[in-house]
Chain A
Amino acid sequence: MSNAANLLEVRGLSVHYPGRANWFFQKAIPKKAVDDISFVVPKGKTVGLVGESGSGKTTTGRAIVKLAPLTVGQIIYQGTDIGSLSNAEFLPWRKKIQMIFQDPYNSLNPRADILSILSEPLEIHFPQMTRNDRAERCVELLRCVQLPAEHLRRHPHEFSGGQRQRIGIARALAVQPELIICDEPVSALDVSVQAEVVNLLQDLQEQLGLTYLFIAHDLAVVEHVSDHILVMSKGQIVEQGSPAEILGNPQEAYTKTLLAAVPRF
Chain B
Amino acid sequence: MLPPMSAEPLLKVQDLSVTFRTGDSATVAAQEVTFSIAAGEVLAVVGESGSGKSVSALALTRLLPPAPTCTVTGSVMLGGVDLLKLPDDKLAKVRGGAIAYIFQEPGTSLNPVYTIGFQIGEAISLHRPEVTDIKSAIQRALQEVRITEPERVANQYPHELSGGMQQRAMIAMALACNPKILVADEPTTALDVTIQKEIMDLLARLRRERGMSILLITHNFGIVANFADQVQVMWKGRIVEHGPVSEIMRTQAHPYTRALIACIPRLGQRRRRLTTLTEELKVSP
Contacts and interface: CB of A to CB of B under 8 A. Distances in A.
Interface of A: 52-54, 160-161, 190-196, 198-199, 202, 217-221, 223-224, 243, 247, 257-265
B266 interface: yes
A53 B164 CA distance: 10
A217 B195 CA distance: 10
B36 interface: no
Contacts of B278: 196
B78 interface: no
B195 A52 contact: yes
A192 B48 contact: yes
B263 A220 contact: no
10 contacts: A52-B192, A52-B194, A195-B274, A196-B277, A223-B265, A224-B265, A261-B197, A262-B193, A263-B226, A264-B267
Given A191-B221, A195-B263, A263-B225, 18 more contacts: A53-B162, A160-B49, A190-B219, A191-B219, A191-B222, A191-B263, A192-B260, A192-B277, A196-B276, A217-B194, A218-B193, A243-B270, A257-B194, A258-B194, A262-B222, A263-B222, A263-B226, A264-B222
Nearest to A190: B219
A195 B163 contact: no
Contact of A247 (B195, B196, B265, B267): B267
Nearest to B222: A263
B276 A199 contact: yes
A224 B226 contact: no
A257 B196 CA distance: 12
Contacts of A193: 48-49
A260 B194 CA distance: 8
A223 B270 contact: yes
In the A-B complex, the 4 residue pairs with the smallest Cβ-Cβ separation, listed nearest first, are: A265-B225, A263-B222, A195-B274, A195-B263
B49 A190 contact: yes
B193 A261 contact: yes
B119 interface: no
A126 B266 CA distance: 42
Contacts of B193: 52, 217-219, 258, 261-262
Nearest to A54: B162
Nearest to B162: A53
A161 B49 CA distance: 10
Contacts of B226: 263-265
Interface in B264-282: 264-271, 273-278
A152 B194 CA distance: 39
A226 to B, nearest CB: 10
